[in-house]
Amino acid sequence: MAEQSKILKADEQSVDLDAEFRESNIREVLDKLDRELIGLKPVKARIHEIAALLLVDRVRKRLGLSAGAPSLHMCFTGNPGTGKTTVASRMSEILHRLDYVREGHLVSVTRDDLVGQYIGHTAPKTKEVIKRAMGGVLFIDEAYYLYKPENERDYGAESIEILLQTMENNRDDLVVILAGYKDRMDKFFQSNPGMRSRIAHHIDFPDYGVDELVAIAKLMLAAQNYRFSPDGEKAFIEYIRLRMAQEFFANARSVRNALDRARLRQANRLFTGGKKTLTNIDLMTIEAEDIRASRVFLEGKTDTATGPA
C-alpha cells in the first residue's frame, strides 16, 4: 500500500479548471443563452451541468483519465415557443467549443425530411439528412411522428432504425436531439425502447408566465428598435392574459406574432393619422390602441387558421 501511495503521488497532476473554462470560450455561449431566453431556470441549469460534465471530461482525457465518450443524445419536451430550438443551437456551439463535434452546426428537420412515401425512398432521405448533420447536432422536431403503428404502409420505422444505428455508432461525431410535446414523446419512447435507451438527457421546457412573456416581448421589440408606451405595455399585459386562455397559444411564438400585427397596426395608424411630421419616438412606440385593436379583446374570438389578430 505504501509503494502504491508513492506511485500515485509521483503521477499526481493538477489542472486549473477556471483557466480551462476561460480557454474553451463556452462562457460566451452560456451568457448568450441567458440573454436570449427569459426564465427557463431549470433548463439553463441543466445545460450548465452538461457543459460542466463535458469540460471536466475533456480535462480528464488530457490527463489520461478517459472514461469513454459520454452519451449526449437528448430529448427536449415542452409546448411550442418555449425555446427548444434556441437551446439546441446553443448546445451545438458548446459541443463544438469543447471539441465533441467537428463543426457545431445545427440541422433541424421533421418527419417529412426523413421519411419517404414509397419503398426504397426512406433510407436515402434519412442517410442524406444524417450526412448533412454529421459533425454537429441533428434536431428532430415532433419526433413522435416518425412512428405510426396504425399505418402498415408507413416507413417511419425504417428511419428510426437507421437513426438508432447512427446514434450508437457515431456518437463521437453526432448528437441527436428529439423534441416535442411531453405526453407524445413519452408514448413514443414506450413504443421505441431502443430510442429511449440511447437518450441520456431528458429536459422539460416549462410554459412561460405572464411576466416572462411581457419581458420576452420587450426584448423582441428592442431588437427591432421598437418599444411599448406605458399604456401600450398595460394593454399588452391584458392581451397576454386573454390570449393564454385561448386555443393554439404558443408562448414566445404567439408573442412574436402578436407584435408583428401590432407593428402593422402602428404603421397604419401613423400613415392614416394625418400627422405630417413624425419623430423617432413616434416611429418606435407601440401604443395601447395598436394592441387593443386585436380580436382577442372582442369576445376572445380566435381565427383557427392564422391565430388571433
Q: 227 - beta bridge partners? A: 285
Measured CA distances, 300 to 53, 56, 180, 297 (Å): 47, 52, 27, 6
How many other β-carbons are positioned within 10 Å of the β-carbon of residue 62? 12
Cα-based torsion angle of the residue sequence 262, 268, 273, 277 in order, rounded to the nearest 10 degrees: 90
pLDDT of residue 78: 96
Structure confidence at residue 245 (pLDDT): 93
pLDDT of residue 303: 42
Residues 218/228, Cβ–Cβ less than 8 Å: yes
Q: How far apart (Å, rounded) are the C-alpha atoms in residues 146 and 182?
A: 15
Cell numbers for 59: 480535462
Residue 294 φ/ψ region, left for φ over 0, alpha for ψ in the -120 to 50 degree band, beta for the rest: beta
CA distances, 21 to each of 25, 28, 52, 173 (Å): 7, 11, 9, 22
Q: Are strands 137-141 and 175-180 parallel, antiparallel or unpaired?
A: parallel
From first to last of its 309 residues, what are the pLDDT tens digits of the chain?
555 444 445 467 788 888 888 888 899 999 999 988 999 999 999 999 999 999 998 888 888 887 777 889 999 999 999 999 999 999 999 999 998 899 999 999 999 999 998 888 999 999 999 999 999 999 999 999 999 887 777 899 999 999 999 999 998 899 999 999 999 999 999 999 999 999 999 999 999 999 999 999 999 999 999 999 999 999 999 999 999 999 899 999 999 999 999 999 999 999 998 888 999 999 999 999 999 999 999 855 444 334 555
46/91 Cα distance (integer angstroms): 11
Q: What is the pLDDT of residue 269?
A: 95
Residues 254/246, Cβ–Cβ less than 8 Å: no
Tell me the domains of the chain and their CATH numbers. Answer: 2-205 (3.40.50.300), 210-297 (1.10.8.60)
Taking a C-beta distance cutoff of 8 angstroms, is the pair 176, 163 a contact? Answer: yes
Cα separation, 208 vs 69, whole angstroms: 35
Q: At residue 199, what is the residue type?
A: I
Which pLDDT score is estimated for 149? 80
84 vs 75: CA distance, rounded Å = 10
pLDDT at 304: 39
- Model pLDDT, residue 223: 95
Backbone phi and psi for residue 298, each to the nearest 5 degrees, phi listed first: -105, 85
pLDDT at 16: 84
pLDDT score recorded for residue 13:
79
